[in-house]
Amino acid sequence: MTADLQKLRQQIDALDAEILQKLNERAAFARKVGSLKVGQAYRPEREAEVLLRIKQLNQGPLPDEVAARLFREIMSACLALERPITVSYLGPQGTFSELAAKKHFGEGAELKPQGSIDEVYRSVESNACDFGVIPVENSTEGAVGRSLDLMPQTPLKICGEVLVRIHHHLMASAPLPYDTILKVFSHGQSLAQCHEWLNSNLPKAERIAVASNAEAARRASLEPFTAAVAGEMAAAHYGLSVLASNIEDEPNNTTRFLVLGTYEPKLSGRDKTSLVLSAANRSGAVYEMLTPFAQRGVSMSKFESRPSKLAIWEYLFFVDIEGHVENQNVADALAELRKIAGYVKVLGSYPAAVI
């Protein structure tokens, strides 16, 4: 070992000791803050502010995203000193929903897989869990219908969002030549997202849709000459070999997840508001519902219709706008909207995704 290398390592060791000391000092302050809080300990708007500030302060060489994720874990560990947050998600283990929950809440949270989206809702409504994480839309395959259909019925509020880049991998219990694979298991949406790759590389393999990508990985771990399309977490959880990586047809494939809870976040400075509406039964009613937002300079990022399931040919409209209900222009637009629309429910105002 050269003298220069030895000196650099000593400097790194000294920095590690200093970082550890500062982390414990931060944890002590976080514990004091926790003792002064009344009610909800987790404040998504505060965490969003911290992560945005870290990105602004970061001067590298660490990328902004990496720096923010490090601080996400620091905050998660500090919060767990008071009491780990319990978070339900669409299971089983190894799904992208689990990845979304970990990305948003960090490793300090206690994650609880559920068998369906309905069960995620129920676990939070019954106070069995503090928060729930549900998939709501994919950039290539569109909305997750069940997640939307339950929102008008629940007392829960949206209090956060998570964006997860979806990378699909072909995996099996052992390295296999492609031409020996007889079946490919995956969730129906994942099979659709890898349609062209599968056509080109596994044209003769039977494609079998299952309840989740994690279930696909479990099936592939048990049955010879089969493979699964799933994420890295599923491969690790079931001990599978990855045969091909990033096989999704759309390179920017992203799924948006929502965080549900009883807490209503305050202003963070970079917020979204989600609504569900129904139009009055008259000509031009849908156009009229959009006018209050346009007149007050409120940007709309989503407008999607779903059958109401209450009557034939009646629809609900799911809308995302930029801003918080406490912003004056948003509050004014909503007040006007309530005079026009047949039904208005604010699903939540929450910080936009930071990492």
In this structure, is residue 327 part of a structural domain?
yes
In this structure, is residue 51 part of a structural domain?
no
> CATH number for the domain including 216?
3.40.190.10
Contacts of 23 (CB under 8 A, 6+ apart): 74
SS3 49: helix
In this structure, is residue 214 part of a structural domain?
yes
In this structure, is residue 156 part of a structural domain?
no
pLDDT reported for residue 38: 53
Number of domains in the chain: 2
Whether 247 contacts 323, CB under 8 Å: no
Contacts of 167 (CB under 8 A, 6+ apart): 231, 232, 245, 246, 248, 253
Q: Which of 71, 105, 257, 293 is catalytic?
A: 257
In this structure, is residue 45 part of a structural domain?
no
Place of tokens 């959009």: 290
DSSP notation for 292-312: HHHHTT--EEEEEEEE-SSST
Strands 131-138, 86-90: pairing is parallel
Please indicate whether residue 257 is annotated as part of the active site: yes
Please indicate whether residue 293 is annotated as part of the active site: no
> CATH number for the domain including 319?
3.30.70.260
Structure tokens at 99: 């990845």
Sheet strands (E) in the chain: 86-90, 110-114, 131-138, 142-143, 157-165, 169-172, 183-187, 206-210, 226-230, 241-244, 254-261, 271-278, 300-307, 315-322, 343-351
Q: Which of 95, 226, 255, 273 is catalytic?
A: 255
Cα–Cα distance, 215 to 162 (Å, whole number): 23
Residue 157 has φ and ψ, to the nearest 5°, of -115, 150
Structure tokens at 154: 């629940």
Do 195 and 232 lie in a common domain? Answer: yes
In this structure, is residue 283 part of a structural domain?
yes
In this structure, is residue 178 part of a structural domain?
yes
Please give the residue range of the domain that contains residue 186. 169-244
Do 224 and 284 lie in a common domain? Answer: no
Mean pLDDT per 10-residue segment, the chain (355 residues):
87 95 93 71 91 95 96 94 91 91 96 95 97 94 91 96 95 95 94 95 96 92 96 93 96 94 95 93 85 95 86 83 97 95 95 94
Do 197 and 234 lie in a common domain? Answer: yes
Nearest CA to 112 out of 133, 87, 137, 130 is that of 87
Amino acid at 212: S
pLDDT reported for residue 88: 97
In this structure, is residue 151 part of a structural domain?
no
Contacts of 22 (CB under 8 A, 6+ apart): none
